[in-house]
């Protein structure tokens, strides 16, 4: 199903324009919220990068004596690599935030232009709403005049009173007819303008959502790439660790700390 | 190559015991440093969990109007799942830290026992060092007495002086021989004790490294499992996002916000 705004924003109150106009403005809100969201996401990465550097330093200050010393070097290297991956992520998200901020600024300008250019539709909507209201009121008044006459007839009122009421009814009928005649071109103008405005708002919305989805697609790619690289750090860490068997650690210790190979003569 | 401590911790200064004893103590230091390292690692996860909850709340407070609203729900869900994965990691690492802390306490007791039980070897080492030193000194003195006599002969000294020097030489020779005789059993005792102590320290070290490697293996498994689950959250997020096409978002918007299907009559 492909949606067509032109099918959905009519209705008795003629406030489809209002809904579509506000929706367009919410698009700007969403783009600003998206920059906030990614800024927060970038803060998380920055904090992670700092904490990983701290962790690397902790591993680096691990006891350099004893058999376990080489393991600290591996833990340090791994934490350092994670720290730098988080920092990379900060940089990438920051670029993304810049792009979205730029987009939001352009969107804001675009919305201002749309507001001006759609002023005619807004007037047509207001005219339509006012005219619809007036026709409705006139119709109601005409109906109540009719009921008045029927009541007078039923109550056998004087011919003078009846004539007075019939004059009022005729006047109301003329008013009603005049309003209906005026209403028709207003309605046509409204329909004409709304049809093109619906299309315009749909075009704007489609372009906006397409752009927002592109930002998110970039974000998802960043997440995925970063996640893969973190996985590689873990895999490399595991590989190095697996190689550090007990025998290898003892061997390294002995090479560094042996005191002499010959027993006392 | 399988290392045998018994091949490496001899040498002139007889301080192999000292090196091995200190290395054992460094094992306790390493186990404490490991708890510190993992505590710090757990702090990182905890901080991440909190920041992800904050991020989820930010996504949750995203504008509920407009076409983009459904995307915030997906971003929120994803951040919440990541937050809970980090919290899981906190719990798992905390368990690991408990295990290592317990191990470190037991290791401390074990080291105390080893210190007491190896007191005999320490005495044998000190006796060996003292005896080696004394033999060395006596040998040097004997050599200098010999040089003295040769000098006297060269200088044509009196027979009386020569006789006096030769008496001294004989006395020094006796001292030297006595020390060498005493040294032999000391050396044998030292060698006997050091042979069994080397084996003992090697057993202790092997068991310690095996245990430390097991802790790290557990940690690597935690990292791996957590990394895989984070990957699943990303994949699920991507899947949900791919389904949210521009058409789907417009469709959902229209269903929620349409004002009427019929144009004014």
- Give the list of residues 6+ apart from residue A249 with CB closer than 8 angstroms, or none: A67, A68, A70, A71, B209
C-alpha radius of gyration, chain A, whole number: 39
Residues 6+ apart with CB under 8 A from A136: none
Position A165 scores a pLDDT of 87
Chain B residue with minimal CA distance to A58? B37
Q: Does pLDDT of A40 surpass 70?
A: yes
Cα–Cα distance list, A150 to A147, A159, A161, A174, B165 (Å) = 5, 13, 12, 19, 164
Q: Which two tokens stand for residue A149?
A: 């006459």
Over pLDDT 90: what percentage of chain B? 86
Report how many Cβ contacts below 8 Å link chain A to chain B.
236
Which residues touch B50 (CB under 8 Å, ≥6 apart)? B83
Confidence of residue A198 (pLDDT cuts 50, 70, 90): very high
Residue B24 CA to residue B31 CA, distance in Å, equals: 11
Task: Measure CB to CB from residue B259 to each of A13, A52, A65 and give the nearest one.
Answer: A13
Gap between the Cα atoms of A205 and B250, Å rounded: 8
In the prediction, which pLDDT does A265 show? Answer: 73
Which candidate in A2, A43, A44, A224 is best for mutational testing of the B interface (most B CBs within 10 A)? A44
Interatomic CA distance for residues B211 and B213, integer angstroms: 5
Q: What is the pLDDT of residue B260?
A: 94
Q: Write b or e for each residue in B179-204: b if 16 or more Cβ atoms lie within 10 A of its Cβ, otherwise e.
A: beeebeebbebbeebbeebbebbbeb
d(CA A263, CA A260): 8
Q: Which residues on chain A are in Cβ contact (under 8 Å) with B12?
A: 260
List the one residue out of A223, A208, A257 whose CA is nearest residue A67. Answer: A257
Distances (CA, A) of B5 to A255, B42, B126: 11, 37, 20
Nearest alpha carbon to residue A132 among A43, A10, A259: A10
Where residue A155 falls among pLDDT bands split at 50, 70, 90?
A: confident
CA distance B207 to B51: 40
pLDDT digits (tens, 9 = 90+) for B104-156: 999 999 999 999 999 999 999 999 999 999 999 999 999 999 998 888 888 88
Q: Provide the pLDDT for residue A111.
A: 97
Q: CA B162 to CA B153: how far, in whole Å?
A: 8
pLDDT at A189 over 60: yes
Q: Which domain holds residue B235?
A: 15-256
Q: What is the pTM of this model?
A: 0.88
- Give the closest residue to A23 by CA, choosing from A101, A106, A111, A109: A111
Contacts of A117 (CB under 8 A, 6+ apart): none
Band (A29; pLDDT cuts 50, 70, 90): very high
Does A231 reside within a domain? yes
Sign of the CA dihedral B93, B94, B96, B100?
positive
Chain A residues within 8 A of B246 when measuring between CB atoms: 206, 209-210, 213
- A16 contact residues in B (CB cutoff 8 A): 259-260
Beta-bridged to residue B260, according to DSSP, are: A9
Q: What pLDDT is stored for residue B102 in this prediction?
A: 98
3-state secondary structure of B262: coil
> Residue A116 in 3-state DSSP?
helix
Residue A110 domain-assigned (yes or no) = yes
Quick one: pLDDT at residue B156?
A: 82
**What is the three-class DSSP state of B260?**
strand
What is the domain count for chain A? Answer: 1
Asked whether residue B10 is assigned to any structural domain, the reply reads no
CB distance A220–B227 less than 8 Å?
A: no
Q: Cβ contact (<8 Å) for B8 and A237?
A: no
Question: Does residue A132 register a pLDDT over 60?
Answer: yes
Q: Which of B75, B178, B186 is nearest to B128 (CA)?
A: B186
The average confidence (pLDDT) of chain A is: 94
A156 domain-assigned: yes
- In 10 A of CB B7, how many CB atoms? 13
Q: Is B118 exposed, middle or buried (0-12, 13-18, 19+ CB in 10 A)?
A: buried
The CATH number of whichever domain residue A240 belongs to comes to 1.20.1270.60
Q: Are B33 and B103 in contact (CB under 8 A)?
A: no
- Identify whether B7 is part of a domain: no
The answer on pLDDT for A1 being more than 60 is: no
- Average of pLDDT values for A61-73? 88
Q: Do the Cβ atoms of B1 and A247 come within 8 Å?
A: yes
Residue B124, H or E segment: helix B119-154
Residue A8 has its nearest CB partner, among B66, B238, B261, at B261
Which tokens in the block code for residue B230?
């984070």
Domain-embedded: residue B250: yes
* A119 in a structural domain: yes
**Can you list the residues of chain B whose pLDDT is less than 50?**
none
In a domain, B180, yes or no: yes
Q: Rounding to the nearest 10 degrees, give the CA dihedral for residues A252, A256, A261, A263.
A: -110
Place of tokens 């004002």: B259
**pLDDT score recorded for residue B63:** 80
CA distance A118 to chain B (A): 19
Closest alpha carbon to A191 in A130, A127, A134 = A127
């Amino acid at each position: 199903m492909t949606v067509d705004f032109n099918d959905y924003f009519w209705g008795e109150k003629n406030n489809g324009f209002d809904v579509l106009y506000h929706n367009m403005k919410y698009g700007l809100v969403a783009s600003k919220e998206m920059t906030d969201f990614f800024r927060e996401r970038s803060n998380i990465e920055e904090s992670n990068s700092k904490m990983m550097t701290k962790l690397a330093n902790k591993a680096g200050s691990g006891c350099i004596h004893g058999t376990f010393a080489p393991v600290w070097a591996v833990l340090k290297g791994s934490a350092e690599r994670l720290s730098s991956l988080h920092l990379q992520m900060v940089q990438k998200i920051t670029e993304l935030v810049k792009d979205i901020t730029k987009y939001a600024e352009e969107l804001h300008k675009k919305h201002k232009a749309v507001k001006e250019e759609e002023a005619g539709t807004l007037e047509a909507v207001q005219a339509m709403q006012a005219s619809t209201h007036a026709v409705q009121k006139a119709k109601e008044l005409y109906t109540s005049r009719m009921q008045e006459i029927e009541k007078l007839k039923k109550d056998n009122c004087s011919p003078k009173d009846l004539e007075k009421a019939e004059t009022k009814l005729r006047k109301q009928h003329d008013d009603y007819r005049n309003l209906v005649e005026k209403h028709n071109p207003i309605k046509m103008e409204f329909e004409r303008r709304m049809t093109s405005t619906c299309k315009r708002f749909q075009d704007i919305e489609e372009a906006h959502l397409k752009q927002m989805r592109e930002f998110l697609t970039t974000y998802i790619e960043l997440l995925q790439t970063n996640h893969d690289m973190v996985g590689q750090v873990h895999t490399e860490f595991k590989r190095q660790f697996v190689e550090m068997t007990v025998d290898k650690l003892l061997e390294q210790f002995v090479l560094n700390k042996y005191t002499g190979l010959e027993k006392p003569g």
